[in-house]
């Protein structure tokens, strides 16, 4: 049995209150891990090309404030699928 399978079994055995506490903890844990990864990527330059492209697109008039407010560019969403 892998560690993940063991953890899955433990989570499945939690009561409702314990499961709520676990969800709350895991959401915080996952958000911190995500923040740490984004920060590391920014520091080591992994996001530089994306930022430069976004700035070039904006400066050339290819950005749209309405699209930004609604969650981004349709072209980007299509490309991510």
Q: With the CA atoms of 32, 27, 46 and 67 taken in that order, what torsion angle do they form, in degrees rounded to the nearest 10? A: -120
pLDDT in the model for residue 13: 98
pLDDT in the model for residue 72: 57
pLDDT in the model for residue 62: 87
Contacts of 9 (CB under 8 A, 6+ apart): none
Residue 67 in contact with residue 74, Cβ under 8 Å?
yes
Give the start-to-end residue ranges of the domains of the chain. 1-46, 53-81
pTM beyond cutoff 0.85: no
**Residue 1: strand, helix, or coil:** coil
Q: Render pLDDT for 25-37 as a digit per residue (tens, 0 to 9).
A: 999 999 999 999 9
pLDDT in the model for residue 64: 77
Residues of the chain short of pLDDT 50, as ranges, are 77-81
pLDDT in the model for residue 22: 98
């Amino acid at each position: 049995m892998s560690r993940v399978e063991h953890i899955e079994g433990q989570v499945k055995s939690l009561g409702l209150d314990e499961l709520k506490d676990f969800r709350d903890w895991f959401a915080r844990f996952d958000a911190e891990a995500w923040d740490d990864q984004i920060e590391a990527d920014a520091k080591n330059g992994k996001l530089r090309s994306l930022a430069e492209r976004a700035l070039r697109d904006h400066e050339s008039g290819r950005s749209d404030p309405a699209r930004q407010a609604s969650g981004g560019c349709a072209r980007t969403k299509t490309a991510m699928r």
